[in-house]
Every structure is written in structure tokens, then in C-alpha cells.
Amino acid sequence: MTNSYKKVLIVDDDKDISNILKQSLVAEGFSVISAQDGEEGLKMIEKEKPDLILLDIVMPKMDGVTMAKKLEEKNIKLKILFLTNLRGELPVAEGIVEKTDYISKTDMHIDQIIAKVKEKLSIE
């Protein structure tokens, strides 16, 4: 299966990071949609049915951990890669972060993020 059949939702309030991720993922053949906060992200999930979410933790209106918790409460099972600039211990909401991968935005190169997305979606 090619990447073009895989839809990635980027939920990040940093427009620059979101645009860089979107351009890089589109160049790799993914279908990409984006939202700027957790509230908008939840609406996009219901409308667009993505295969994976790149989810920032710290955002206005609704943070990423709260969004992931709401998905769990609605029994919506999606692959999530948390994006964060946080250092040290990450916020945990009922074990969500512990069972989900996360990427430090400051420590990883875009190629590593793309590789992690492909790994999570089982694409070689």
C-alpha cells in the first residue's frame, strides 16, 4: 500500500512546524490535514477519519493529552505520535502518554519524524 492511502492529521498550534510537517509528509505521498488545537482536531477526526495523529501536547483551548483522553472516552482508536517541546517528565492522563509514542520537536530531524510516522503506520 502506498502512503497516499494513509491520512495523517497534524494537530499543532505552531503554524511553522505544522507547515513543515505537512510539506514533508505530502512529499512522501501522505494525505495530510491539520488543526490548530484539540477542539478543532476532534472535529477533524470525526470528519476526515485519519490513520494517524501527530499531536502537540501544549496547545490553547484543548491540549493534546486532553484530546487523547477524549478520544479514549469516545472509544476512538487511532495511532498517535505526541509532539512536544517539553523536557523531562511528560504530563500523564490516565496512562495515555505511557502507551503512546512521543517525539521531541527540538531533538529530532524531520526525516526521523517521517520515519516514525511510517513505522507507526507499518510502511517500509
pLDDT tens column, 22-39: 999 999 999 999 999 999
Q: What percent of the chain has pLDDT over 90?
A: 41
How confident is the model at residue 72, as a pLDDT? Answer: 87
How confident is the model at residue 12, as a pLDDT? Answer: 93
How confident is the model at residue 98, as a pLDDT? Answer: 47
How confident is the model at residue 90, as a pLDDT? Answer: 52
All cell numbers assigned to 54: 501527530
Reference 54, options 121, 118, 102, 124; nearest CA is: 102
How confident is the model at residue 91, as a pLDDT? Answer: 52
- pTM for this prediction: 0.85
C-alpha distances in Å from residue 46, one per residue of 14, 19, 42, 71: 22, 22, 7, 10
Angle at 117 (CA atoms; ends 101, 52), nearest 5 degrees: 80
How confident is the model at residue 64, as a pLDDT? Answer: 86
Structural domains for the chain: 3-120 (3.40.50.2300)
C-alpha distances in Å from residue 79, one per residue of 50, 60, 88, 109: 9, 22, 23, 21
How confident is the model at residue 57, as a pLDDT? Answer: 85
Residue 51 has pLDDT above 90, yes or no: yes
Q: What percent of the chain has pLDDT over 70?
A: 81
How confident is the model at residue 60, as a pLDDT? Answer: 86
pLDDT tens column, 66-90: 898 899 888 888 889 888 776 555 5
